[in-house]
Amino acid sequence: MFYAFCGVESSSDKTKRIEDLCAVEPLSNGEAFEVVNDQDIWHPLWKKPVNHQVNGKFIIAVTDRVRENEEVRGLTYSQARTHGSSRGCVRRGTAGASSQMTNIRNR
């Protein structure tokens, strides 16, 4: 997921992908991402603290994507359950994490 978010080619070997990911440079305008071909390409500040504004926005985007993926997966499990499958999805509360993310978003 990090590779796709940062515009790194995922078809190369693992070492090359990691090198390319580490080589992502900050944007000169200080923004967290740029839009290229209608896609957000993120430029996290790898050498800055996690709570830096740019990195905070990147983390929020990643966690939002994970949450969206889990919701889709949860729907799939719910649909499978109604069609006779015994597999289900357990959702856990994230109220504290959600409020922390809101604080970073509003900086």
pLDDT digits (tens, 9 = 90+) for 43-75: 999 999 999 999 999 999 999 999 998 888 877
Burial group, residue 1, by CB count within 10 angstroms (0-12, 13-18, 19+): exposed
By mean pLDDT, which of 11-15, 35-39, 73-77, 92-96 is the weakest? 92-96
Record the pTM.
0.66
Coil, helix or strand at residue 90: coil
Closest CA to 100 of 51, 67, 65: 51
Per-residue model confidence (pLDDT) at position 82: 61
**CA gap 74, 55 in Å, rounded:** 28
Per-residue model confidence (pLDDT) at position 90: 42
